[in-house]
A and B are shown apart, each in its own frame.
Chain A
């Protein structure tokens, strides 16, 4: 069902926009047999953007699902450990110095990696039950990044502030190249995390229980942390800090499919990808020709869904 939703969202995203393209022309355009303006719009504008949206959403869905297990908290999201804060600081610095898109993305990725390293080094502890320590370290670091981000915003000139805000809200309008490399990384991360899916099931009961059932808890936690952080870093450096996908999607999937991560992980990838593609479609079309940052749309969808889930959780 999720695969169908993914396909539907991809096709809709390619066909719809400020200029609609007949759905029956899509196969011919994608196979290259039809050319012209329609084909150009699809292959040069919409396809790179749609693919980037799908991959970014998938990365965030996966990172969220992993982060929730790592922190033993179903309300955790990929940004909670400050990895996105590091990325934002990097990106905003690049924008401050007037550097181009490539630099902004690269700088964001470097910031995310720096933040990941800091969290890892600062929260390394010999004790089990380390999720609480990790969470606190990450949250405090995130607050630190937040302060730096505010300073950069205050010091920036008017034109930079606009780019900065778009970046911070999450924005896909800069996607001009199909991000094949990111797709490959997404597939690899999904596969690797799927290989420890059973260990992740055990980790949800706590480190002690997981260890007593034979899981190599320390190794699994390290792997999960690195995968979640990398997925977050790649997603954020491609599209800024798009909110709610990494929180809502895994949570929703757990409510529908249960807690078996052999299902939850691939479903979170497909669900995250589809949702972001649809949200981006909304961002492009709702106020067309004015484009909204996609993060605004995901938050608008995310807030009511999240509140509903929270109520559901309390009653359930």
Chain B
């Protein structure tokens, strides 16, 4: 597999939702082995951008290419093997267990007449193990805590095992240790397939720690993207959030805080 392969390409993309211009003339390429962070104010359209990339929202103009093929030309199941989406939140209206949720994530890999193979059962076990959900696999999802639900959803995405991972606020509800651990698990899983991660964050410090590249959505369709060192500065963050952000240094470490 070619490591420098472009996994996602947006060409002259215009996205609108209601009367909000999410992005105007967006040209953005995500190559394999990159970790992108998306930052922006609430309501600027970060999730809508994800919905557009995954075909749930239609762009007003321009093109989305997944591995150099137009999004609309991908068969549903084939796309699900390449593109995975961790939603900001899922509601569970029916009594499902953690195990059932992970089993359902195998959907793109099995047809109607097949049962799960030993390998696939192993994938589910491994995914539950790294997300530390093994002892809760028989529990109903609705009976779990917010953080455990989040880890269940992450386990499901690990079972789906795509190449391009869209993560909408992946650390929502997670405690500090699990925030770091889950990000490491996800990045490692993506690297195994020479894949890439695009991640919506509200914490610039997490973005700085894990992302190789950053896309800032600045509102009214304008954006800025590039490598993390260049984009993630106190000055740019202050502008983005309309709130003074300063960078504190301690030996070789640095952290952004709101002033």
Binding site for B on A (CB under 8 A): 68, 72-74, 128, 195, 197-199, 201-202, 204-206, 208-209, 211-216, 254-255, 258-260, 316
Contact = CB atoms under 8 A, between A and B. Distances in A.
Nearest to A75: B93
A215 B93 contact: no
Contact of B92 (A128, A205, A211, A258): A205
Interface residues of B, number: 35
Contacts of B143: 316
Given A214-B76, A255-B95, A209 B87 contact: yes
B56 A198 contact: no
A316 B96 CA distance: 12
Given A198-B104, A213-B108, A258-B100, 9 more contacts: A74-B95, A204-B93, A205-B90, A211-B56, A212-B56, A212-B84, A216-B76, A259-B95, A260-B100
A236 B114 CA distance: 36
Nearest to B83: A212
Contact of B87 (A68, A72, A197, A208): A208
A315 to B, nearest CB: 10
A269 B107 CA distance: 24
Interface string B193-235: 0000000000000000000000000000000000000000000
A153 B180 CA distance: 67
A259 B96 contact: yes
Contacts of B87: 208-209, 212
Given A211-B55, A316-B95, A201 B108 contact: no
A216 B80 CA distance: 11
28 contacts: A74-B95, A197-B112, A198-B107, A198-B110, A201-B100, A201-B107, A205-B90, A205-B92, A205-B101, A208-B51, A208-B56, A209-B90, A211-B54, A211-B55, A212-B84, A213-B108, A214-B79, A214-B107, A214-B108, A215-B107, A254-B94, A258-B100, A259-B94, A259-B95, A259-B96, A259-B100, A260-B103, A316-B95
B104 A201 contact: yes
B160 to A, nearest CB: 7
Given A214-B76, A214-B80, A316 B140 contact: yes
B95 A254 contact: yes
A117 B111 CA distance: 32
Interface in B64-87: 76-81, 83-85, 87
A222 B85 CA distance: 24
A108 B160 CA distance: 46
B102 to A, nearest CB: 12
Nearest to A197: B112
A68 B54 CA distance: 26
Contacts of A201: 100, 104, 107
A248 B79 CA distance: 38
Contact of A74 (B78, B94, B101, B107): B94
B76 A215 contact: yes
B251 interface: no
A127 to B, nearest CB: 9
B254 to A, nearest CB: 36
A73 B54 CA distance: 26
Most buried by B among A206, A214, A215: A214
Q: Please list the 4 inter-chain residue pairs (A to B) with the smallest Cβ-Cβ separation, ordered nearest first.
A: A214-B80, A214-B77, A214-B108, A212-B85
A316 B143 CA distance: 7
Given A198-B107, A201-B104, A73 B76 contact: no
A222 to B, nearest CB: 15
Contact of A213 (B55, B94, B104, B142): B104
Given A74-B94, A208-B87, A202 B56 contact: no
Contact of B105 (A73, A195, A213): A213
Contacts of A199: 107
A211 B91 contact: no
Contact of B94 (A195, A204, A208, A216): A204
Nearest to A131: B93
B27 to A, nearest CB: 25
B107 to A, nearest CB: 5
Nearest to A214: B80
B195 to A, nearest CB: 16
B107 A206 contact: no
A268 B93 CA distance: 19
Contacts of A214: 76-81, 107-108
B97 interface: yes
A216 B84 CA distance: 15
A212 B96 contact: no
Contacts of A195: 112
A263 to B, nearest CB: 11
A316 to B, nearest CB: 7
B120 to A, nearest CB: 13
A206 B90 CA distance: 8
Interface in B5-60: 51, 54-56
A68 B83 CA distance: 29
